Amino acid sequence: EGGRTLGKCFNRAKCEIKTYEAQRIGVDFITQNTIGQGGGEELGSELEKLEGAILKLIDMTETTIGHVDGVLAGKEKADTKIGRALAESVSAVPVVDMSEFEGTFSKRVQDLLMVQYLAAIARTQVTFWHRMHGMA
């Protein structure tokens, strides 16, 4: 009718995807975001979450140091419950060489950036595919 498209109907097709566990996580995330089944979130927010977690950890550490300094200076009353909790928390932290930690952390951030990059490529390809099929 005049070359116009009156409407399109999309029917879901069942499919089975066989992947390894590591790949499955990425496939689940991409399908949630492209199909809209899971209310997924943007990958870009992962770095923001990491930054927020680090800032929160720094804030809690500064609060703890302030409390301990206050107790040592006699400005605050010592509480054995808090002291035990702090001792247990400190003893639970693994002893890691600084260079080893930096290397591991750097690798994890690089992995996260690679996932973001690949997800952006996948989104671009999906958008391109939709536009190309919309022109046909």
> What residue spans of 36-97 are helical by DSSP H?
45-72, 80-92
User: Would you state the structure tokens that stand for residue 93, as one six-digit string?
Assistant: 């932290």
Mean pLDDT (the chain, rounded) = 79
Question: Which residues have a Cβ under 8 Å from the Cβ of 30 and sit 6 or more positions away?
Answer: 119, 122
Mean pLDDT of 33-46: 52
pLDDT tens digits, 80-127: 998 999 899 888 888 889 899 899 888 988 888 888 889 889 988 888
pLDDT tens digits, 23-36: 776 666 666 655 44
Query: Which strand (E) or helix (H) includes residue 122?
Result: helix 98-135
CA torsion sign for 73, 78, 83, 86 is negative
